[in-house]
């Protein structure tokens, strides 16, 4: 969808083009070749794709050593846009089938290995490495990493902090996070980590008798972080589902609108209008998992349907961080939706996958149920402009949170096994 922000939904700028081609190739290999053993062949395919996109108009810059530099947000949105426009089929050939296989493999399990209601036991090794190079010696820090929240879809949680945590500093564990208090002594980085063991179940509606009035009020709030119900959002909700539309019918209408009229990709959060973030999504024509879910929640609340934002990680072989949403429907309870279906259905074009995550999700590691349960402040400053790079590592994934200069803020390493 074209918009005043351009066909990629962002304001392209050379200041974002700071990530070397070698790292961009690793990002492309993760999403497109997760099952590929021949990394050399995968890397060559990704380099060829980057060359094709630059010839089609993808912006880049040059490092002093001559290596091309890219904006990972611009690259991701360009490869999807090029496919949707019929100019290059890289996304359809690589990302879409890999995503479908990841989802299918997570669900396709021998019934003999499952517990009641499809329960499965998972182990997650999670380490967050904080960059401390900018801190002076003697600085008091309170660092945090996310931990699982228990509930209907995650039970029997066991948390074993890593040996690195036990050797230094003071740490404590609370629902949704682990905290390390320390005083810097010149070290360039510090690890905070744990081995997590839990039983997970697929996420589905759990009928309950009633949502108490204080909870209903909480989940109808007009303003909560990036969820902002403006008059424009109210008008859109009414146009999609009239005032008297039943909750499930309205939820379906909002789901269909977002999947059918917007594009799912990556965003520069420093470009989002924080006074009206969901309006910004409508203007740009693009959303990521967090903003798509926030828009859905805002539309639900505008219609009088309690809704909330959920954060966590996937539990397949690429355990990336992710956001989705839940809407309260009186005869169904909390009903989950996940706009990853947009990618799985190649932009909503494949009806067999379009509703894959409407009302039923697979196994997830949940770390936030906003606004009540959240990880809290990281403990290190977040730059105004940043990006995330996800790369495959033995047995799991590395998720780097970087400033646009390429300097890491923190790096998560996550491995999942059963």
pLDDT tens for 273-319 read: 999 999 999 999 999 999 999 999 999 999 999 999 999 999 999 99
38, with CB counted inside 10 A (0-12, 13-18, 19+), is: exposed
Omega prior to 411 cis, within 30 of 0 = no
Together in a domain, 217 and 341? yes
- Whole-number Å distance between alpha carbons of 255 and 337: 8
Residue 398 has a CB neighbour count (10 Å cut-off) of 17
In a domain, 20, yes or no: yes
What are the phi and psi torsion angles at 59 (to 5°)?
A: -75, 150
Predicted confidence at residue 2, as pLDDT, reads 43
In a domain, 372, yes or no: no
- Whole-number Å distance between alpha carbons of 159 and 249: 41
Q: Which residue range(s) make up the domain with 19? A: 14-107
Predicted confidence at residue 382, as pLDDT, reads 95
Pairing of strands 170-174, 61-62: unpaired
Question: What does the block give as tokens for 312?
Answer: 């966590």
- Whole-number Å distance between alpha carbons of 74 and 12: 7
**Domain termination site, one of 107, 132, 159:** 107
- Whole-number Å distance between alpha carbons of 375 and 315: 19
In a domain, 6, yes or no: no
The H or E element containing residue 141 is: strand 140-146
Question: How many domains, in total, are found in the chain?
Answer: 3
Together in a domain, 149 and 264? no
55, with CB counted inside 10 A (0-12, 13-18, 19+), is: exposed
- Which stretches in the chain have pLDDT values below 50? 1-2
Predicted confidence at residue 165, as pLDDT, reads 67
Predicted confidence at residue 1, as pLDDT, reads 41
In a domain, 114, yes or no: no
> Which among 195, 163, 126, 122 has a CA at the least distance from the CA of 414?
126
Together in a domain, 278 and 222? yes
Together in a domain, 249 and 284? yes
pTM: 0.96
What are the phi and psi torsion angles at 311 (to 5°)?
A: -125, 150
Together in a domain, 277 and 329? yes
DSSP state letter for 381: P
Together in a domain, 226 and 304? yes
- Buried b or exposed e, range 274-310, using 16+ CB within 10 angstroms: eebbbbbbbebbbbbbbbbbbbbbbbbbbbebbbbbb
> Which among 264, 321, 266 has a CA at the least distance from the CA of 74?
266
Longest CA–CA span in the chain (Å) reads 64
Together in a domain, 354 and 220? yes
Together in a domain, 219 and 355? yes
Angle, alpha carbons 218-222-228 (nearest 5°): 125
Predicted confidence at residue 114, as pLDDT, reads 74
CATH number, domain with residue 239: 3.10.620.30
In a domain, 291, yes or no: yes
- Whole-number Å distance between alpha carbons of 200 and 197: 10
Together in a domain, 281 and 348? yes
In a domain, 272, yes or no: yes
User: DSSP string of 262-295?
Assistant: SEE----GGGS-TTSHHHHHHHH-EE-HHHHHHH
**Domain termination site, one of 322, 338, 362:** 362
Together in a domain, 259 and 331? yes
Beta partners for residue 313, in sequence order? 321, 365
DSSP state letter for 66: S
In a domain, 70, yes or no: yes
Together in a domain, 394 and 296? no
Question: What does the block give as tokens for 204?
Answer: 């589905």
**Domain termination site, one of 63, 87, 107:** 107
Together in a domain, 158 and 41? no
Predicted confidence at residue 5, as pLDDT, reads 73
In a domain, 309, yes or no: yes
Q: What is the dihedral of CA 242, 290, 393, 48, to 10 degrees?
A: 80
- Whole-number Å distance between alpha carbons of 152 and 361: 13
């Amino acid at each position: 969808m074209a918009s005043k922000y351009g066909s990629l939904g962002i304001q392209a700028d050379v200041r974002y083009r700071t990530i070397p081609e070698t790292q961009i190739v690793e990002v492309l290999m993760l999403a497109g070749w997760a099952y590929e053993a021949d990394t050399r062949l995968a890397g060559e395919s990704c380099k060829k794709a980057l060359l094709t996109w630059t010839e089609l108009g993808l912006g880049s810059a040059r490092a002093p050593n001559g290596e091309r530099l890219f904006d990972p947000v611009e690259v991701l949105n360009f490869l999807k846009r090029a496919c949707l426009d019929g100019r290059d089929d890289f996304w359809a050939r690589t990302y879409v089938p890999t995503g479908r296989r990841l989802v299918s493999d997570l669900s396709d399990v021998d019934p003999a290995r499952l517990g009641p209601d499809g329960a499965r036991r998972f182990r997650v090794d999670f380490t967050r490495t904080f960059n401390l190079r900018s801190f002076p010696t003697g600085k008091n820090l309170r660092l945090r990493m996310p931990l699982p929240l228990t509930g209907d879809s995650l039970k029997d949680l066991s948390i074993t902090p890593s040996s690195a945590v036990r050797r230094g500093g003071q740490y404590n564990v609370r629902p949704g996070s682990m905290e390390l208090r320390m005083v810097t002594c010149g070290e360039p980085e510090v690890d905070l980590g744990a081995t997590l063991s839990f039983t997970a179940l697929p996420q589905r509606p759990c009928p309950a008798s009633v949502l108490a009035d204080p909870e209903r009020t909480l989940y109808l709030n007009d303003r909560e972080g990036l969820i902002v119900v403006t008059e424009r959002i109210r008008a859109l909700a009414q146009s999609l589902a009239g005032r008297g539309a039943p909750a499930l019918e309205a939820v379906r209408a909002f789901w269909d609108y977002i999947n059918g009229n917007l594009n799912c990709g990556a965003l520069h959060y420093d470009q989002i209008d924080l006074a009206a973030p969901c309006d910004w999504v409508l203007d740009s024509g693009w959303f990521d998992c967090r903003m798509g879910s926030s828009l859905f929640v805002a539309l639900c609340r505008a219609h009088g349907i309690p809704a909330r934002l959920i954060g966590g990680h996937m539990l397949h072989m690429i355990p990336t961080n992710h956001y989705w949403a839940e809407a309260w429907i009186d005869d169904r309870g909390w009903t989950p939706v996940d706009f990853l279906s947009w990618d799985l259905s190649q932009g909503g074009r494949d009806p067999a996958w379009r509703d894959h995550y409407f009302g039923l999700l697979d196994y997830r590691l949940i770390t936030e149920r906003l606004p009540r349960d959240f990880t809290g402040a990281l403990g290190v400053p977040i730059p105004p402009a940043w990006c995330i790079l996800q790369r495959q590592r033995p047995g799991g994934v590395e998720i780097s949170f970087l400033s646009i200069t390429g300097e890491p803020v923190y790096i998560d390493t996550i491995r999942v096994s059963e």
